[in-house]
Amino acid sequence: MSRNADTWILTAQCPSRLGTVDVITRFLKEHRCYITEQQSFDDRHTERFFIRTEFYPQDPAFDAEAFQAAFATRAEAFEMAFELTAPGTRMPVVIMVSKADHCLNDLLYRYRIGQLPIDIRAVVSNHPDLKPLADWHDLPYYHFPITADTKTEQEAKVWQVVQETGAELVVLARYMQVLSSEMCEKLSGRAINIHHSLLPGFKGAKPYHQAYEKGVKLVGATAHYINDDLDEGPIITQGVESVSHADYSEDLVAKGRDVECITLARAVVYHVERRVFLNKRRTVVFTR
């Protein structure tokens, strides 16, 4: 799931306007930059244009600051907001968990083998259970218990960790607490959550057991940015797995865990590779 480690990434968005692709490709050609991947999308409903370009400079004296300054002049005419990401950039991340370990374990494994271009700065939990897993990976583990009466204080501690570690992304790897409106606002666009996706929907305790009783034929998972609507933030990616009459409730749980792990990891990769653009309440996602 990793991209070419030698390429730069240029992402941009602006109002729909004639010449939006040309302004980028022409500029890159003029600066002797070879495009290796490019994806774009024009949303006729929101009248917004989105583009992501990977490239490598053919000039060994490539100057990123000069490149950005020069492109800003071109982009201004299109009201274009852009970002340039250097090769090898590893996004600082804080992971939040409760007691379930499958998503954390999967992320740590992918991190350890170099499949995720991230720098995990800390693991935060409202339970002490997963500290040994973080310790094994030599990662700081913060145990902040929470009750209805201490939610404000607990979230203040979490926010302090995010700020002190310089985390640009927070991953809720089965963190089983509802974040406050204030916390959702602070983490808007930079916090990813994972949860099960079952049709019909099953809320409350043991959703997979409920699904088994109804005889569902598909289990799935949804990774999305958090917002003030529980489990209804802008969707990044979803996964699905078939089940049958021969699968018991424990089989549904096991398959659900696998789908959650893969879906969350994919969402993290898409985010850190700058493949996701917020487009009002939806997302534009340039998949591989």
Burial call 223-259: b when 16+ CB within 10 Å, e when fewer:
bbbbbeeebebbbbbebebebeeebeeeebbbbbbeb
Burial class (CB in 10 A: 0-12, 13-18, 19+), 62: middle
| CA angle at 200 for the pair 199 and 205, rounded to the nearest 5° | 100
Which residue in 42, 119, 231, 251 is the catalytic one? 231
Q: For residues 275, 14, 40 and 75, what is the CA-based torsion angle, rounded to 10 degrees? A: -100
Burial class (CB in 10 A: 0-12, 13-18, 19+), 180: middle
Structure tokens at 232: 């209804």
Known catalytic residue: 42? no
Known catalytic residues are 231
